Amino acid sequence: MTFKTIIEPFRVHSVEPLVMTTPEQRREAIGRAGNNLFSLRAEDVLIDFLTDSGTGAMSRDQWAAIQRGDESYAGSPSWFRFLESVQDLFPFEHVIPTHQGRAAEKILFTAIGGEGKIVPNNTHFDTTRANVEYTGARAVDLVIAEGRDPASRHPFKGNMDLDALESLLIEHGREAVPVVFMTITNNSGGGQPVSLENLRGVREVCDRYGIPFFLDACRFAENAWFIREREAGQGDRDVRDIVREVASLADGMTMSAKKDPLGNIGGWLAMNDDGLADECRTLLILTEGFPTYGGLAGRDLEALAQGLRESVQHDYLRYRIRSTAYLGDALTAAGVPVVQPIGGHAVYLDAGALLPHIDPLDYPGQALAIALYEAGGIRGCEIGSVMFGLQPDGSERPAAMELVRLAIPRRTYTQSHIDYVIEVAISVAERADQLRGYRITSEPRPLRHFTATFEQQTG
Ligand code: F0G
């Protein structure tokens, strides 16, 4: 007999207290924070769904591995254990450790970006876009049309539009395009997966034009699980084999190890090209550290070596994907609009659909995110015109979608926490017509969403 409840495949080993607050306390806290959820003190948050990045719970075996951390400056055994674990899944020639994903992006785009260059991606994550644009290059998003439609139930909404990719290459020529990127899963587009078939298609286009193909692979294990569940002929495969096949299609990768590799910090840049690797290692030494530790301590390398092994276990991934869907399915059943189908690491509330009375440039996502915090102490993240609206020339344009991401830290919250979130979100949705928009009162750039301040609109 099999049971339908998918339980957490772990039990609790040490606990962290949550601080209970009242709605009044939260209204005061968010006011002090300039209505920016990034500026809250984490202790004023009850359920923290700001990000799944670096916020997961490490396992007993990861904590044990930390004790083995060897802090030798060069050639530490911890480095070799890390390298072996990375190359077991991603057999690239060169692995360059960094303190997190954006450091890998910064190094890579410093080496290959620059004025006049164009970098296509299914959808650039905000730091990836910022690192491309910082070099003077242009970041272009070419996700399939279904990927921009929150209601479409296409099983691989992260796929690249191959015709659009080819048109871009014909129009600008291969010299202008130093790399083609694919983000798996497609975070900014709703945590949606990319199919093996599409990855093979991108490889084929890149081969024809002689352009390197890189993965932004921080949610590679969730992506591989979706391939196993949704793609024809993949259902019996070990996730590790799927991951290796995905890696074999690419020439290199950037990684934020704060996501699927179950680390609290870490990342890497990997590639097969010897010349490019030399250049990147030189840049690494300038800003991150020696090539056998990059920006990490030996103990961090140990935690990641073990985390990577756990990240591809089927029981874990089944629970991970199912528990995210549990939240999304309950909200869908209650009529709260969320991006379909439910992604891997997060549920994306469709603030555009829920708050049609708020203009995109009055930031419906921000309004919804603040309402969730005030009502229940839940911290989500606007992924809409606050994050993407500001253009490099200083003008403002509505984003493709107005979303609020509820990103679920790995192995951290239980089903009763999620039941509470469902209850709060439904109660906010029931009075959606009363929510008002916001205007920005101060903003830096780029990446204004981290520190901008907001004021609620009157009337
Ligand atoms: N690429 C993707 C797809 C990401 O989601 C992130 C981070 C990065 C690169 C950068 O990695 O944070 O280690 O420097 N995403 C986090 C998030 C911050 O909340 O989605 P990092």
String of DSSP letters for 124-170 = --HHHHHHHHHTT-EEEE-B-GGGG-TT---TTTT-B-HHHHHHHHH
What share of the chain has pLDDT > 70, as a percent? Answer: 100
pLDDT at residue 190 in the model = 84
Question: Which residue puts its alpha carbon closest to atom 19 of ligand 1?
Answer: 51
CA nearest to 365, candidates 154, 125, 192, 150: 150
Question: Considering only CA atoms, which of 198, 204, 205 is closest in space to residue 223?
Answer: 198
Please state, in angstroms and rounded to a whole number, the distance separating the CA atoms of residues 48 and 273.
40
CA of 52 to the centre of ligand 1 (A): 9
pLDDT digits (tens, 9 = 90+) for 26-52: 999 999 999 999 999 999 999 999 999
Share of the chain above pLDDT 90, in %: 92
Tell me the fold of 60-311. Answer: Aspartate Aminotransferase; domain 2 (3.40.640)
- The answer on pLDDT for 111 being more than 90 is yes
- The mean pLDDT value for 354-376 works out to 98
User: For residue 6, what pLDDT is reported?
Assistant: 81
Pocket test for ligand 1, best of 109, 121, 127 (most atoms within 8 A of CB): 127
Which amino acid belongs to residue 403? L
* pLDDT tens figures, 204-241: 999 999 999 999 999 999 999 999 999 999 999 999 99
Q: Looking at ligand 1, which atom is closest to the CA of residue 407?
A: 19
Per-residue pLDDT band at 150 (split at 50, 70, 90): confident
DSSP classification of residue 338: B
pLDDT digits (tens, 9 = 90+) for 388-405: 899 888 899 999 889 999
For ligand 1, the distance from its centroid to the CA atom of residue 186, given in whole angstroms, is: 11
The highest-level CATH class for domain 23-52+313-456 is alpha beta
d(CA 97, CA 23): 43
**Segments of 263-380 assigned E as strands:** 267-271, 346-350, 378-379
What is the model's pTM?
0.95
Cα 101 to averaged position of ligand 1 atoms, centre (Å): 6
Confidence of residue 123 (pLDDT cuts 50, 70, 90): very high
Q: Is the pLDDT of residue 445 over 90?
A: no
What is the domain partition of the chain in residue ranges? 23-52+313-456, 60-311
Tokens of 190: 């709703």
- Most ligand 1 atoms within 8 A of CB, residue of 121, 123, 143, 218 to mutate: 218
Distance (Å) from CA 91 to ligand 1 centroid: 22
**Residue nearest (by alpha carbon) to ligand 1 atom 8:** 101
- Comparing C-alpha atoms, which of 61, 94, 141 is closest to residue 313? 61
pLDDT attached to residue 164:
98
Residue 446, pLDDT above cutoff 80: no
| Average pLDDT rounded to a whole number, residues 272-295 | 97
The average pLDDT across 51-56 equals 98
pLDDT on residue 188: 82
The Å distance, Cα 459 to ligand 1 centre, comes to: 37
Q: How many residues does the chain have?
A: 459
CA of 127 to the centre of ligand 1 (A): 7
**What pLDDT score was predicted for residue 126?**
87
What is the 59 CA–ligand 1 centroid distance (Å)?
22
Per-residue confidence (pLDDT) for residue 392, from 0 to 100? 80
Cα gap 308→82, rounded to integer Å: 9
Average pLDDT over residues 109-115: 98
Residue 360 pLDDT class (50, 70, 90 cuts): very high
- Report the atom number in ligand 1 closest to the C-alpha of 50: 19
- Closest ligand 1 atom to residue 51 Cα is 19
Whether the per-residue pLDDT at 1 is higher than 80: the answer is no
At a CB cut-off of 8 Å and minimum separation 6, what does 216 contact? 101, 105, 121, 125, 128, 181, 182, 183, 184, 253, 254
Find, among 356, 363, 340, 351, the residue nearest to 404 by Cα: 351
Of the candidates 160, 152, 31, 50, the residue with the CA atom closest to the CA atom of residue 380:
50
- 82 neighbors 301 (Cβ within 8 angstroms): yes
- Measure the CA–CA gap between 167 and 209, rounded to whole angstroms: 12
How many C-beta atoms surround the C-beta of residue 324 within 10 A?
23
Which residue owns the Cα nearest ligand 1 atom 1?
125
Separation of 236 CA from ligand 1 center, angstroms? 30
**Closest C-alpha to ligand 1, atom 15:** 53
Least confident of 266-270, 275-279, 399-403: 399-403
Report the pLDDT value the prediction gives residue 120, as an integer from 0 to 100: 98
Find the residues whose C-beta lies inside 6 A of ligand 1: 51, 53, 100-102, 125, 127-128, 183, 187, 216, 218, 256, 258, 267, 407
CA distances from 267 to 145, 154, 215, 290 (A): 31, 30, 13, 14
